[in-house]
Amino acid sequence: MGPCTVQDGLRQLKLTTYNSPNCGPRRGVAQPDMVVLHYTAMKSAAAARDTLCSPANEVSAHYLIAEDGEVMSLVPEALRAWHAGAGRWGAVADVNSHSIGIEIANDGLSPFAAPQMDALVDLLQGIKVRWDIRPERVIGHSDMAPGRKIDPGGRFDWRRLALMSHAVWPEDVAPQDTAFFAPRMRAFGYTATDDVDLLLSVFRMRFRPWATGPLDEVDAGMISDLARRFPVDVNPTST
């Protein structure tokens, strides 16, 4: 199908539709209730698109966003794309069935391009309206697969998404005893591992990428605020 534009958010989204064969019906859930963000770690968006549409690779995502802001639709939102793999968020073990996957063309080291972030915001706005997805359920691949995945990485601007209510960010942070860190990570949704060092690395990559040194009271305070305001699975959907 050729390029088209849809009035889908704050600006006009430049959307091109492709049809990846790497998808199937959602299992046990009627509709998505999460969004998982990724970066491609490939040399170009075109190369990533080819990979995500090739049957031999058995991987896909619902969307791929190029550096110039072009959004490629690869799998219809109602279907299950193959982007998350092994991992967990709260009670959800089959993240692919629960989520919409968005690949952002980026090598993992460079800043994310401004037109690309604008397009992501518009895309998330449309997804939120279509599926009623809460901001705390927009997560990174590293959040649900710690130790196995590091995308979208420390250069991704989660704070900007949170300012637009498309993700969450800690506020009113008071220092807390570090003993609270691991249980409150779990309460927020980080249920894929109990390894505190691993939890600290994925937490800081997303919420405190400038921090160094051992677990401290600020880490514990930040996650305590998030866990208090956004406890995972308080209104659980099926797993």
Q: Which is nearer to Zn ion, 85 or 183 (CB)?
A: 85
Cα–Cα distance for residue pair 239/236, rounded to 1 Å: 8
Three-state secondary structure call for residue 152:
coil
With CB under 5 A as the contact rule, the residue among 33, 70, 136, 151 that binds Zn ion is 151
Out of 88, 98, 137, 141, the only residue in the binding site for Zn ion (CB under 5 A) is 141
* CB closer to Zn ion, 153 vs 221: 153
- Applying CB under 5 A, which part among 92-100, 145-153, 164-172, 213-221 lies near Zn ion? 145-153
Q: How far apart are CA 83 and CA 139, in angstroms?
A: 13
Smallest gap from Cβ 99 to Zn ion, in A, equals: 11
Residue 103 bears catalytic tag: yes
Q: How many residues does the chain have?
A: 239
Q: Judged by CB under 5 A, which stretch of 15-23, 66-74, 150-158, 217-225 contacts Zn ion? A: 150-158
Give the count of beta carbons closer than 10 Å to the beta carbon of residue 68.
12
Q: How many residues in the shown chain lie near Zn ion by CB under 5 A?
A: 3
Minimal distance, residue 174 CB to Zn ion, in Å: 33
Rank residues 120 and 187 by Cβ distance to Zn ion and give the closer one. Answer: 120
Nearer to Zn ion, 38 or 186 (CB): 38
Task: Please state the closest distance from residue 85 (CB atom) to Zn ion, in A.
Answer: 8
| Set 77, 103, 136, 171: catalytic member | 103
**Exposed/middle/buried for residue 43 (C-beta within 10 Å: 0-12, 13-18, 19+):** exposed
Residue 89 per-residue DSSP state: B
Residue nearest to Zn ion (CB): 38
Q: Cα separation of 229 and 13, whole Å? A: 32
**Which pairs from 190-196 meet CB under 8 Å and 24+ separation?**
190/89, 190/143, 190/146, 191/88, 191/89, 191/90, 191/91, 191/232, 192/87, 192/88, 192/89, 192/144, 192/145, 192/146, 193/146, 193/147, 195/146, 195/147
137 binds Zn ion (CB under 5 A): no
Per-residue contact string for residues 16-55; x = within reach of Zn ion by CB under 5 A = ----------------------x-----------------
Q: Of 136 and 151, which CB lies nearer to Zn ion in the complex structure?
A: 151
Instruction: Give the H or E element holding residue 187.
Output: helix 181-188
Contact residues for Zn ion (CB under 5 A)? 38, 141, 151
Active site residues: 103
